[in-house]
């Protein structure tokens, strides 16, 4: 059984500006770190930290191909 984040968890994940920017970039079609970097203006570390938190919170899932 998959546990999905509740509303409070989602609000917490999106409370950070950098995570919101990463999610917005992904919603608009960015699917790789370079694409997300270009869309957000964040450096690679910022993107990876945001993606890590979003994955931990199960809002973003790693693809089998690394995307």
Judge residue 8's burial from the number of C-beta atoms within 10 Å of its C-beta, 0-12 exposed, 13-18 middle, 19 or more buried: exposed
pLDDT confidence band for 65 (50 / 70 / 90): low
pLDDT confidence band for 62 (50 / 70 / 90): confident
Between residues 7 and 21, the one the model is more confident about: 21
DSSP string, the chain: -PPPP-HHHHHHHTTSHHHHHHHHHHHTT--SHHHHHHHH---HHHHHHHHHHHHHTTSS---TT--
What value, to the nearest 5°, has the Cα angle with vertex 59 and ends 48 and 65?
60
User: Mean of the pLDDT values across residues 5-34?
Assistant: 94
Q: What is the pTM of this model?
A: 0.85
Does 1 score more than 70 pLDDT? no
């Amino acid at each position: 059984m998959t546990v999905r984040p509740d509303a409070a968890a989602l609000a917490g994940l999106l409370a950070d500006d950098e995570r919101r920017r990463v999610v917005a970039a992904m919603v608009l079609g960015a699917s790789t770190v370079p694409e997300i970097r270009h869309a957000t203006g964040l450096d690679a570390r910022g993107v990876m930290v945001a993606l890590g938190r979003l994955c931990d919170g199960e809002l973003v899932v790693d693809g089998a191909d690394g995307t």
